[in-house]
Structures are given as structure tokens and as C-alpha cells.
Amino acid sequence: MSWRWRFSQGDTDFASMDLIERTVLLTGGGTGIGRALARQLASKGNTVLICGRRLPLLEDTAAVSSLIHPYRCDLTSSQDLQDMLDAIARDGHRVDTLISNAAILGFESLSNDLDLGVAKKMIDANLWGPIELTQRMLDGLREAPDPVIVIVGSPAGLGPLANTPIYSTSKAGLHAYAECLRYHVQGQIRVIEVFPPVVDTEMLAEKNWKKMSPDECARRMVRGIESGQEQVWIGVSKMFRLLRLALPPGRLFRVVNDWSPREQE
């Protein structure tokens, strides 16, 4: 084993690593944080396999580097997942790093007008899709040298935002899955969670909030992953982490929902 568990300030972290010359499968690589991450990883010499539903956007991401390879795949379709994994194997790639980044966000009320179909799609894309993909890839990852699974979460998964209840629920489930997965594959695969701040992407295009650029977010993600942290908190999400440590759960919900970004007048 080329890395070991270590304790740092009460958290269990991994030894540091270099994200270079790996073969990365990155979901949601056609836009936003995923696009920035794909290009940065390719510029470090990694082969980056990107997937998403919109092939033209994936091809745009891939246009800047011959190390980026697009695969069309809807994570909510088991058939698409299997077809993508078959195509990756046929193309001769052996993935050692999975980055589960794709997600969709919705703002809705739970009082009486929740669109159940849309809500289910969000849970499928943000929670079940990543779980199914990860579980299908576990055996292959275990055979790779120093395998890594990165799960892109959200502070909303740890302190739910009341105006994005289904997204928050999906990210809470993903956090629970990440923690259990880390326990089950301990000593075999490092499982890293990343918590971005508010980032200037398609997801929040209509919101006039203060946002970090996707490039900056991706840079900090790479640095955090390489430094060996099992949880990478970026920008303002670090403040959220401190609140979570300091406040009891019920209080955290109230503080987060009073403090979360508001529309600018």
C-alpha cells in the first residue's frame, strides 16, 4: 500500500499524493466545475474521461486537449452507465480515479406544489446515479495502483437549505454514502469528499450571488485532494464547517437558513 491513514487535529486524513499521470473518470465534465477540473487535470498529464448528457458540451471541453475523452452518459440510466463502462474498457482505459461531480439543482417548496417527477430525477442524478456508478466500478478500482474516489458534495448536504430541499436531501444522502464507503474500502481506496462554495456555473446562473470562478474552485479542489485531506472545504464553505462543529443540529439549520445567500436588491 503506497499510502496510510494518519491523524491530524482529530480528523483522519490520507498521505499526500500527486494528481498526475492518472486515468480519471469525471462525471459532469461538459460545464462548470467539471469542465475546469477536466482541463486542469489534463494539463497535469492525466487522461480524463468525461461524461454527461450533452455530447457537444463534452466535445467543447475536450477540444483543448487530446488527453480528454468525452462519453455521452445519463447517470440516471443503468443502461447508459453500463454502455459507458463497456466503451471505456473497449477504448483501453483503466480508471484509477473516479470523480463524481455531476448533479442538478432545483429550488422548490415542499408545502403543496412539489413536482414529484422532477424531484425523483434529482435524487436519481445526484444520489442513486453516483452510487450505482461507484459500486459498478469498485472491483476495477481496487485493482488499480493507489485508487481514489472523489465525491463532490455540498454544504447543503450537511446543513440543509430550506429553499433547495430535494437537492439538500440528495447531497445529505451522498455524504452518508461517502462516509460509509470510506469505512468499507478503508486501506484499499481513498474516498475524498469536496465541498465547493457558491461557484459561477450553469447551476446558479440565475442567482445574483457572490460566486467563485470554476477555475479557482477546480484549482483548490486539486490542491486539497493532493494534500491528503479526506474532506476538502473550499472558500466560504469552510465557515460552514466551523458552524457545523460549533452549533447543535437544530440551531445549525436556523443559522444556515438565516445566513445563506440572498438575492441582491
Catalytic residues: 167
- H helix and E strand count, the chain: 9, 9
Q: Using CB under 6 A, which of 24, 26, 203, 232 touches ligand NAP?
A: 203
H-helix or E-strand spanning residue 8: strand 5-8
> Please, which of residues 96-125 interact with ligand NAP by CB under 6 A?
101-104, 125
- Shortest distance in whole angstroms from residue 50 CB to ligand NAP: 9
Cell (9 digits) for 181: 464507503
CA angle 140, 141, 146 (to 5 degrees): 140
Find where cell 477546480 sits: 218
Asked if residue 100 lies in contact with residue 151, where contact means CB atoms within 8 angstroms, the answer is yes
Under the binding rule (CB under 6 A), the answer on residue 154 touching ligand NAP is: yes
d(CA 262, CA 207): 9
Nearest in space to 33 (alpha carbons), one of 204, 209, 227 = 204
Q: Using CB under 6 A, which of 32, 70, 159, 235 touches ligand NAP?
A: 32
Q: Using CB under 6 A, which of 22, 26, 28, 71 touches ligand NAP?
A: 28
Query: Which listed range, 81-89, 191-199, 222-230, 240-248, lies at the site for ligand NAP (CB under 6 A)?
Result: 191-199
Which residues, listed in sequence order, are joined to residue 14 by a DSSP beta bridge?
5
Under the binding rule (CB under 6 A), the answer on residue 231 touching ligand NAP is: no
- Shortest distance in whole angstroms from residue 154 CB to ligand NAP: 4
DSSP 19: -
Site string for ligand NAP, 33-72 (x = CB under 6 A): xx-----------------xxx--x---------------
- Shortest distance in whole angstroms from residue 53 CB to ligand NAP: 3
d(CA 122, CA 118): 6
Residue 254 has φ and ψ, to the nearest 5°, of -65, -45
Q: Using CB under 6 A, which of 14, 26, 27, 240 touches ligand NAP?
A: 27
Q: Toward ligand NAP, which CB reaches closer, 14 or 233? A: 233
Residues that bind ligand NAP (CB under 6 A): 27-28, 30-34, 52-54, 57, 73-76, 101-104, 125, 129, 152, 154, 196, 198-199, 201-204
